Structure 1
Amino acid sequence: MKWLKWLDEHLEESILIVLSILTVVIVFTQVVMRYVLGGSLTWSEELARYLFIWMIYMGISYGVQKGKHLGVDAFPMMFEKKGKAVIEIIASLSFLLFAVVISYYVFDITLRVTRESAALELPMGWVYAAPVVGMGLTAVRLIQKIVLLVKDLKKGHEPEESIDLQEGII
């Protein structure tokens, strides 16, 4: 189960690294083609845009995993340990509901899309799948976070400033 633990800890990170490298290489190649060789690639801008869309949705999940999303802490500061934990659980459940609803509706749209992209002639379903995959992974990360919060609440621990899921479910 070592690979499962590695996958749990590094999935989004690995995907983001690959997508970032591909985007940089594609954009750099386009710049060299345009300004050094005097020509251009017809597909590079489109592919870079689609890779960026995927990075955005993978980044949402990565932010949840690392506990790095912005939040308003003025309200929770008015409560003690258990109150803070309950508010964090409610906020995570709300975010989970949002992620599930978005995944559900975008999945439906993704199945209906029949057109192709202009330059790459790539089925647009691949592009529309980014929110489904990203928000699906976000839902998984939120469930992990909620489980950790409930465990901490039962033990009587104060929730950490930002829960990093690396401490572990698996």
Structure 2
Amino acid sequence: MSRGIDYLFKGLEALLVVLLAAMAIMVFGNVVLRYGFNSGILVSEELARYFFVWLTFIGAVVTFRENAHLGVETLVQRFGPRGRLLCMILSDAIIFMCMAAFFWGTWKQYPINASMTSPVIGIRMNWIYGIGFFTSVGIGLMVGLRLVRALAGRITEAELRAFAGERTEAAVVRERAE
């Protein structure tokens, strides 16, 4: 199971690389065409914008799994294990509520986006903004599972250290191998 999830996230990381490379190529190509040949490709402008949206939201899920989001680690590091656990539970509860609100907002916006099409490519806008479902469910599942484990007392010391920003690369490799 864990290995399958690792492969899923490796696939997401590869997708991020592809999206970033395609976005850079499209933007660079349009700059060259615009300033060198006084022309451009409209499709590449629109696709680059949509790739940026997808890159951002998929990247949010990947970085959440790696505990790489911004945090107030200098404060959390000052606490002992109980204080860190309390901070983890509080922040996870807030994140879970935010993901629920994000899912609900995407759900309410979905019919509106489904009725609109992009100006150049002509695809339905729910293909662009529907990525909110992926992000809210992805982060929501991860934080929900961690919250349940924290409330059940099944959070390891290594996870608390990682939450406080004390994790080393060697620890990351060891945790993934387990």
TM-score by length of 1: 0.81
> More relative contact order in 1 or in 2 (CA 8 Å, sep 6+)?
1
Q: Cα–Cα, structure 1 residues 143 and 156, in superposed 2: closer, same or farther, change >3 Å? A: closer
Deviates more, 1:102-111 or 1:72-81: 72-81
**Number of residue-to-residue matches in the alignment:** 168
- Code of the aligned partner of 2:127: W
The CA deviation at 1:145 is 3.7
Q: Which runs of 5+ in 2 are unaligned?
A: none
Distance in 1, matches of 2:90 and 2:156, equals 17
Q: Cα–Cα, structure 1 residues 166 and 25, in superposed 2: closer, same or farther, change >3 Å? A: farther
Q: Cα–Cα, structure 1 residues 47 and 144, in superposed 2: closer, same or farther, change >3 Å? A: same
Q: Cα–Cα, structure 1 residues 128 and 5, in superposed 2: closer, same or farther, change >3 Å? A: closer
Partner of 1:48 in structure 2? 48
Partner of 1:124 in structure 2? 125
* Alpha-carbon RMSD: 2.9
Paired residues for 1:12-161 under 5 Å? 12-73=12-73, 75-77=75-77, 79-113=79-113, 114-146=115-147, 149=150, 153-154=153-154, 157=157, 159-161=160-162
Deviates more, 1:139-148 or 1:8-17: 139-148
Q: Which runs of 5+ in 1 are unaligned?
A: none
3-state SS, counterpart of residue 13 of structure 1: helix
1:91-143 CA distances to partner (integer Å, 9 max, x unpaired)?
11210121122112212211332011111112111111122222221212323
3-state SS, counterpart of residue 123 of structure 2: coil
The CA deviation at 1:2 is 7.8
Distance in 1, matches of 2:174 and 2:107, equals 29
- Code of the aligned partner of 2:85: A
Deviates more, 1:27-36 or 1:116-125: 27-36
Q: Cα–Cα, structure 1 residues 91 and 155, in superposed 2: closer, same or farther, change >3 Å? A: closer
Q: Cα–Cα, structure 1 residues 147 and 21, in superposed 2: closer, same or farther, change >3 Å? A: farther
Distance in 2, matches of 1:146 and 1:165, equals 23
Distance in 2, matches of 1:2 and 1:78, equals 32
3-state SS, counterpart of residue 15 of structure 1: helix
Deviates more, 1:113-122 or 1:73-82: 73-82
